[in-house]
């Protein structure tokens, strides 16, 4: 297998990514070093972990370390580590393809605009390929721990790479960058060291460079054999908070999240007591591409007493907080803990509960004290957080306080349930809402008319998840949540005595007409009645109190699920001239009734069973009018 040199092609996405990276990230070119150090450190973490079960992988010990060197004459920079290394197949796989979830979504979002795309690519994670920003050829020599064979991988980043057998004295990896013309300023001890200090100080594995000193006779700097460690080389999360600068927190975020951007906020705590652990958890500034994939990578890295155990430890965070990134370092779990054990572990449950509380606390703090940041958070992750209403019974109340909605008083999703309750009218008992496919449809719903008239605020809900969430959120702060498109609208004490009298009076006055319309519509409706909830529209449809709303039934159908057949109730506005005309209408009553029903269904965002019949009816009317 592969005892000779082979030339292989990059996966198409890699070619695209390389092209994009080289062109849009040039102004950030020094990040290549951060990415290579990040990979070297991951490789050391992986070896430390695998060696727990297979100590022989350590090949007789030796401290795990990363080395950075440069060669002025050859114009190369080399980043070496004595970590896990790569076999031939691993090199082909890991350096020739992108296996990340969300890759397709990422490419679909590219615009061709360099600045916008640079942002996107940063979020996607630039990784190993960022080497090609400064290098026109990259050579990787690697030997997988526990094997005797080394490989040499090489590419000029133009679509192909070669792979062939090689020699390496020890396990680990060298990444050798052959610099492009004009990149010589990187060939300096001072320059490399300052990039490392800036981006990689938080790396727990020591990063070493040869010392340099000024040679008076030669009149230049010369490299000495003696090495120096250029980073602090201890786990950032285990340091005292007061010893960590905001910039260091941010760089560490980039390392754990593979996100180029900045975190919105973080929380760092040492938890003591029955279960002991350190948590350093971040809220990202932007949602990743695969946020809607509930199976997507979870962002928590698990360490046990500083030893890296696994990425994406999904048991450490509930699904509705899957956007959280960071590290949890447990003092209690065994080093050989597996995903299966995590599932069962009481310590893990305690960690998950503790971390959930921390994140909710962090969000509450943002909502209270950094409103702009909370609005940013909400725009990126609000819909995911809503899943928590159905998923996390214990914290439902806290999550409900964090929700933000649009309302008849505010277009932006900025109204909290507490704000709403604070603005409720004296006699108002319920929190009113209306759901629809879009905010416009919700805002134009005929059901809102009486609420506008009475100046009562109504929440406008148009996110796909809202109907599902409402199935779990029946009240807030002791007030029921009520759909205004359901049931016999009971405005309770919001309606005054005169209005109640008026309702009784019109019900009586229109009794006969209502009966005729009901007969005309037959099986198409559950019932017909008059209502005072409308001011401008002649009619509207509502669902029975316990029936599924029209909106939810449509969502279910769109998702290919069966929705129980539920017929609408048609409500007529007795003050509307059209309805008043109906009283004296004989010949066309059936047609007019059908039209009123059909337009009410359309106004609600619904679909007609027989749209052609509706069009025919409208045209007949138009022709009559034109006569």
Binding-site ranges for ligand ADP (CB under 6 A):
35, 39-40, 43, 81, 83-86, 94-95, 125, 127-128, 173, 258
Q: Which is nearer to Mg ion, 201 or 604 (CB)?
A: 201
Q: Which is nearer to ligand ADP, 99 or 623 (CB)?
A: 99
Shortest distance (Å) from residue 127 CB to Mg ion: 4
Shortest distance (Å) from residue 124 CB to ligand ADP: 10
Residue 489 interaction partner, one of Mg ion, ligand ADP, none, beta carbon < 5-8 Å per kind: none
N-terminal to C-terminal alpha carbon distance within the chain: 88
Describe the strand order of the beta sheet including 479-483 as a list of residue ranges.
Answer: 410-415, 405-407, 459-461, 431-435, 479-483, 475-476
| 122 is a contact residue toward Mg ion (CB under 5 A) | no
Residues 22-81 binding Mg ion (CB under 5 A) are 38-39
Residue 86 interaction partner, one of Mg ion, ligand ADP, none, beta carbon < 5-8 Å per kind: ligand ADP
Q: Which is nearer to Mg ion, 123 or 355 (CB)?
A: 123
Stretch that binds Mg ion, among 48-56, 120-128, 312-320, 338-346 (CB under 5 A): 120-128
Hey, what are 347's tokens? Answer: 């310590």
Shortest distance (Å) from residue 95 CB to ligand ADP: 6
When binding is defined by CB under 5 A, the residue of 83, 85, 127, 318 that contacts Mg ion is: 127
Residue 168 interaction partner, one of Mg ion, ligand ADP, none, beta carbon < 5-8 Å per kind: none
Residues 371-430 binding Mg ion (CB under 5 A) are none
- State how far the alpha carbon of 56 is from the alpha carbons of 48, 53, 82, 334, in Å: 11, 9, 14, 20
Shortest distance (Å) from residue 285 CB to ligand ADP: 18
Cα 304 to its chain centre, rounded Å, is 27
> Which residues fall within 8 angstroms of residue 90, CB to CB, at 6 or more apart?
144
Q: Which is nearer to ligand ADP, 231 or 573 (CB)?
A: 231
Shortest distance (Å) from residue 36 CB to Mg ion: 8
Residue 81 interaction partner, one of ligand ADP, Mg ion, none, beta carbon < 5-8 Å per kind: ligand ADP
Q: Which is nearer to Mg ion, 38 or 356 (CB)?
A: 38
| Cα 326 to Cα 254: distance, rounded to the nearest angstrom | 10
* Residue in the shown chain whose Cβ atom is closest to Mg ion: 127
> Which residues fall within 8 angstroms of residue 588, CB to CB, at 6 or more apart?
none
Give DSSP secondary structure letters for 472-522: T--EETTEEEEETTBSS---GGGS-HHHHHHHHHHHHHTHHHHHHHHHHHG
Q: Which is nearer to Mg ion, 38 or 87 (CB)?
A: 38
| 330 is a contact residue toward Mg ion (CB under 5 A) | no
Shortest distance (Å) from residue 312 CB to ligand ADP: 12
Hey, what are 413's tokens? Answer: 């999703």
Buried b (16+ CB within 10 A) or exposed e, 455-472: ebbbbbbbbebbbebbeb
| Cα 294 to Cα 375: distance, rounded to the nearest angstrom | 23
Q: Which is nearer to ligand ADP, 125 or 354 (CB)?
A: 125
Hey, what are 208's tokens? Answer: 């070493």
Hey, what are 42's tokens? Answer: 């991951």
Shortest distance (Å) from residue 599 CB to ligand ADP: 55
| 531 is a contact residue toward Mg ion (CB under 5 A) | no
φ/ψ of 141, rounded to 5, equals -110, 125
What angle is formed at CA 107 by the lines to CA 104 and CA 108, rounded to 5 degrees? 85
Shortest distance (Å) from residue 376 CB to ligand ADP: 25
Give the orientation angle of helix 497-509 with respect to helix 511-521, to 10 degrees.
60
Task: Judge whether 605 and 436 are in contact, CB under 8 Å.
Answer: yes
| Cα 160 to Cα 9: distance, rounded to the nearest angstrom | 4
Residue 95 interaction partner, one of ligand ADP, Mg ion, none, beta carbon < 5-8 Å per kind: ligand ADP
Residue 94 interaction partner, one of ligand ADP, Mg ion, none, beta carbon < 5-8 Å per kind: ligand ADP
Shortest distance (Å) from residue 173 CB to Mg ion: 12
Residue 155 interaction partner, one of Mg ion, ligand ADP, none, beta carbon < 5-8 Å per kind: none
Q: Which is nearer to ligand ADP, 134 or 448 (CB)?
A: 134
Q: Which helix (H) or strand (E) holds 192?
A: helix 189-200
> Which residues fall within 8 angstroms of residue 184, CB to CB, at 6 or more apart?
75
Shortest distance (Å) from residue 167 CB to ligand ADP: 17
Indicate the DSSP class of residue 185.
G
Residue 122 interaction partner, one of ligand ADP, Mg ion, none, beta carbon < 5-8 Å per kind: none
| Cα 22 to Cα 16: distance, rounded to the nearest angstrom | 10
* Residue in the shown chain whose Cβ atom is closest to ligand ADP: 127
Residue 466 interaction partner, one of ligand ADP, Mg ion, none, beta carbon < 5-8 Å per kind: none
Shortest distance (Å) from residue 319 CB to ligand ADP: 22
Give contact residues for Mg ion (rule: CB under 5 A).
38-39, 127
């Amino acid at each position: 297998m592969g005892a000779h040199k082979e030339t292989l092609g990059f996966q198409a996405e890699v070619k695209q990514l390389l092209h994009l990276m080289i062109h849009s990230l040039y102004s950030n070119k020094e990040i290549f070093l951060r990415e290579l150090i990040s990979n070297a450190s991951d490789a050391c973490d992986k070896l430390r972990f695998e060696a727990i079960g297979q100590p022989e992988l350590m090949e007789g010990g030796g401290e795990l370390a990363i080395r950075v060197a440069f060669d002025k004459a050859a114009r190369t920079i080399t980043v070496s580590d004595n970590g896990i290394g790569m076999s031939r197949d691993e090199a082909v796989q890991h350096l020739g393809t992108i296996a990340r979830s969300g890759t397709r979504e990422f490419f679909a979002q590219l615009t061709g605009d360099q600045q916008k795309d640079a942002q996107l690519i940063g979020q996607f994670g630039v990784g190993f390929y960022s080497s090609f920003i400064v290098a026109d050829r990259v050579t990787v020599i690697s030997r997988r721990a526990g094997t005797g064979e080394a490989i040499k991988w090489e590419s000029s980043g133009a679509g192909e790479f070669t792979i062939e057998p090689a020699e390496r004295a020890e396990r680990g990896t060298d990444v050798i960058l052959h610099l492009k013309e004009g990149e010589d300023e990187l060939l300096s001890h001072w320059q490399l060291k300052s990039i490392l200090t800036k981006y990689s100080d938080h790396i727990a594995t020591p990063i070493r460079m040869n010392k340099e000193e000024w040679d008076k006779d030669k009149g230049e700097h010369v490299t000495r054999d003696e090495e120096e460690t250029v980073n602090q080389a201890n786990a950032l999360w285990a340091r005292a908070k007061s010893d960590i600068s905001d910039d260091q927190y941010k760089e560490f975020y980039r390392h754990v999240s593979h996100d180029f951007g900045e975190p919105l906020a973080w929380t760092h705590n040492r938890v003591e007591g029955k279960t002991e652990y350190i948590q350093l958890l971040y809220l990202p500034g932007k949602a990743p591409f695969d946020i809607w994939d509930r199976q997507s990578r979870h962002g928590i890295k698990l360490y046990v007493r500083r030893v890296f155990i696994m990425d994406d430890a999904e048991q450490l965070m509930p699904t509705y907080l899957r956007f959280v990134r960071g590290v949890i370092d447990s003092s209690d779990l065994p080093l050989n803990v597996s995903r299966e054990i995590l599932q069962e572990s009481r310590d893990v449950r305690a960690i998950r509960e503790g971390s959930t509380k921390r994140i909710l606390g962090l969000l509450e703090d943002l909502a209270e004290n950094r409103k702009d940041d909370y609005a940013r958070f909400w725009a990126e992750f609000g819909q995911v957080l809503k899943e928590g209403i159905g998923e996390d019974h214990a914290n439902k109340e806290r999550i409900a306080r964090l929700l933000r909605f649009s309302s008849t008083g505010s277009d932006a999703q900025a109204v909290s349930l507490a704000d709403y309750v604070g603005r409720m009218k004296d006699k108002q008992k319920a929190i009113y809402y209306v759901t629809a496919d879009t905010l416009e449809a919700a805002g134009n719903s005929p059901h809102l008319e009486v609420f506008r008239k009475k100046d009562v605020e109504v929440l406008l809900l148009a996110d796909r998840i809202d109907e599902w969430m409402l199935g779990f959120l029946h009240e807030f702060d002791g007030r029921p949540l009520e759909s205004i498109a359901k049931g016999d609208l009971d405005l309770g004490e919001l309606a005054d005595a005169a209005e109640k009298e008026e309702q009784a009076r019109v019900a009586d006055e229109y009794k006969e007409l209502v009966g005729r319309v009901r007969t005309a519509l037959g099986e198409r409706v559950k019932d017909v009645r008059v209502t005072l909830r409308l001011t401008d529209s002649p009619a509207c449809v509502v669902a029975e109190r316990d029936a599924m709303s029209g909106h939810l039934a449509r969502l279910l159908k769109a998702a290919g699920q069966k929705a129980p057949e539920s017929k609408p109730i048609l409500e007529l506005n007795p003050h509307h001239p059209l309805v008043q005309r109906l009283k004296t209408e004989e010949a066309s009553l059936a047609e007019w009734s059908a039209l009123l029903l059909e337009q009410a269904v359309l106004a609600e965002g619904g679909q007609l069973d027989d749209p052609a019949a509706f069009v025919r009816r409208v045209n007949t009317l138009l022709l009559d009018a034109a006569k």
